[in-house]
């Protein structure tokens, strides 16, 4: 069974786009604090997880999440191999979210996220290739 549960805070505003076939895609990174500080460090450290959502979940994440907001993510780990622009083979590990729960209270003023981010009166959409989708 491939299932992962994380609870943490967004490190930046979500990145929203639409695939070539019209599927909404939203990507964001979640920082999860470790329970204990390392022996040689006085400060606690965090792990950073890249999360990708699709369809209605992607639209909701784009509309209601922003940097600093606390979320709970349930999903599966996806390991993808690709070649970068310099021809080097790379591997990325992402969480493909099945569920995203918004944990920050609505009135909390960490970042404005009550409405979808828009520019020039229209949503900014970026085309992504179907090859970047895990299905």
Instruction: Write the DSSP assignment of 24-80 as a string of letters.
Output: EEEEEEEEEE-SS--TT-SS--EEEEEEEEEHHHHHHHHHH--TT-EEEEEEEEEEE
pLDDT-derived band at 15, boundaries 50, 70, 90: very high
Counted domains in the chain: 1
Q: 119 versus 135: which is more confidently predicted? A: 135
Determine the Cα–Cα distance for residues 54 and 94; give it in Å rounded to an integer.
13
The DSSP 8-state label assigned to residue 130 in this structure reads G
Q: 93 versus 133: which is more confidently predicted? A: 93
> Is pLDDT of 100 > 80?
yes
* Per-residue model confidence (pLDDT) at position 38: 62
Task: Please check whether residue 135 lies inside any domain of the structure.
Answer: no
Task: Please check whether residue 133 lies inside any domain of the structure.
Answer: no
* Per-residue model confidence (pLDDT) at position 3: 96
Determine the Cα–Cα distance for residues 79 and 91; give it in Å rounded to an integer.
7
Q: 89 versus 36: which is more confidently predicted? A: 89
Question: In which element (H, E) is residue 100 found?
Answer: strand 89-102
The pTM is what?
0.71
Task: Please check whether residue 134 lies inside any domain of the structure.
Answer: no
Containing domain of residue 61, as a range?
Answer: 4-128
Q: Work out the end-to-end distance of the chain between its first and last CA atoms, rounded to an integer number of angstroms.
A: 18
Task: Please check whether residue 27 lies inside any domain of the structure.
Answer: yes
**Of 24, 119, 13, 124, residue with least CA distance to 65:** 13
Task: Please check whether residue 41 lies inside any domain of the structure.
Answer: yes
The CATH number given to whatever domain includes residue 28 is 2.40.50.140
Per-residue pLDDT tens over the stretch 110-132:
444 434 444 444 445 555 666 66
Task: Please check whether residue 82 lies inside any domain of the structure.
Answer: yes
Per-residue pLDDT tens over the stretch 37-93:
666 666 778 899 999 999 999 999 999 999 999 999 999 999 989 899 999 999 988
**Of 14, 10, 12, residue with least CA distance to 27:** 14
Distance of CA 42 to the CA centre of its chain: 29
pLDDT-derived band at 17, boundaries 50, 70, 90: very high
């Amino acid at each position: 069974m491939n299932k992962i549960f994380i609870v943490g805070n967004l490190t930046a505003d979500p990145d929203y786009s639409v695939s070539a076939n019209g599927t909404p895609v939203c990507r964001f990174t979640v920082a999860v604090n470790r329970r204990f500080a390392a022996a040689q460090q006085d400060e606690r450290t965090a792990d950073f997880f890249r999360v990708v959502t699709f369809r209605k979940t992607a639209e909701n994440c784009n509309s209601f999440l922003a940097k600093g907001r606390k979320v709970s993510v349930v999903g599966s780990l996806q390991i993808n191999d690709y070649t970068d622009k310099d021809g080097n083979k790379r591997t990325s590990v992402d969480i493909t979210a099945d569920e995203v729960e918004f944990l920050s209270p609505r009135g909390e003023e960490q970042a404005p996220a009550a409405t979808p981010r828009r520019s020039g009166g229209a949503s900014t959409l970026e085309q992504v290739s179907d090859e970047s989708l895990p299905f």
